[in-house]
Amino acid sequence: MSEEASAVSMLRPAKRAPLPQAPRVFDAQDVVPAPSSLRERLEQMRARYHGVHATTLLEAAIFDEFPGRVATVSSFGSESVVLLHLISQIDPTVPVIFLNTGKLFGETLRYRDRIQAKLGLTDLRSVGPHPGDERVLDPDGTLWSRDPDACCNFRKVLPLRRSLAGFDAEITGRKRFQTVARSSMGPIELNGSRFVINPLHGWSLADLVAHIEKYDLPRHPLVADGFLSIGCMPCTQRVKTGEDYRSGRWAGSDKDECGIHENVEGDGI
């Protein structure tokens, strides 16, 4: 085992906590159902933008549907640059929210800075957990090993909820191929009263790689090292050849989402 792999493996618990029997932390959080007016608008938008290219959907969301009221959320992970590149070509001032959990790889932070400079993103917001939450819930920084749902909740879900409070819509880079839960995802959804725009929902991994190569976009440096889906350091492993794309995330547990996309309604068009 290489020195780096050894260092990463030492950060993992010898034994995972038992699978949760109770609802996950974020399952229990109350998301107020959308009023009927927003549901009607959802259906109208789905009909209006049925089958359009990702760029067309992004232009519509940024300029027509939610001018000044839409932000994107990016992990600056393995293929995040595709969505950020598309957005930067349309309007580089769209707010980009980056969840700096305090547990990320240093490579991710440097990659974020590199991509911001290359694409000219003018409104990158790095948000983190509330210091009070961290002090009370995770004073020694090991909550991820005992209760990853609770860790994701205060490091990701709550900060994102605070940072999106002023927006009517968020643009995500989620793709159908990533997880079973995402396999029926559509391009436009509702999460409570906030619209969720998924311009890349139907893109394959090959489509993403082709876009990256066509525009000569920088890859996250850890991709070349075998990390296909990149999140926090303690909860991300390399993916072996032939293994599932996200098998390196929370490996050995049934967890495959951090919770920031829970409660999204609808299966799209």
- Residues engaged in binding ligand SF4 (CB under 6 A): 101, 103, 144, 148, 151-152, 155-156, 231-232, 234-235, 258
Token digits for 5?
């792999």
Whole-number minimum distance, CB 101 to ligand SF4, in Å? 5
Biggest distance spanned by C-alpha atoms of the chain: 57
Whole-number minimum distance, CB 143 to ligand SF4, in Å? 7
Cβ(239)–Cβ(228) below 8 Å: yes
Token digits for 81?
């640059």
Between 199 and 248, name the residue whose CB sits nearer to ligand SF4: 248
Phi-psi region of 94 (alpha: psi -120 to 50; beta: other; left: phi over 0): beta
Whole-number minimum distance, CB 16 to ligand SF4, in Å? 12
Whole-number minimum distance, CB 110 to ligand SF4, in Å? 18
Between 73 and 258, name the residue whose CB sits nearer to ligand SF4: 258
Measured distance CA(50)–CA(52) in Å, rounded: 6
Which ranges constitute the DSSP H helices of the chain? 3-10, 36-48, 54-59, 80-90, 106-119, 131-137, 143-146, 148-152, 158-163, 205-214
Query: Which residues make Cβ contacts (< 8 Å) with residue 264, sequence separation at least 6?
Result: 185, 189, 190, 191, 196
Active site residues: 258
Token digits for 142?
């090991």
Whole-number minimum distance, CB 142 to ligand SF4, in Å? 10
The closest residue (CB) to ligand SF4 is: 232
N-to-C CA span, the chain: 46
Between 65 and 257, name the residue whose CB sits nearer to ligand SF4: 257
Whole-number minimum distance, CB 153 to ligand SF4, in Å? 8
Between 74 and 88, name the residue whose CB sits nearer to ligand SF4: 74
Measured distance CA(119)–CA(52) in Å, rounded: 24
Between 65 and 149, name the residue whose CB sits nearer to ligand SF4: 149
Between 41 and 130, name the residue whose CB sits nearer to ligand SF4: 130
Measured distance CA(3)–CA(6) in Å, rounded: 5
Phi-psi region of 141 (alpha: psi -120 to 50; beta: other; left: phi over 0): left
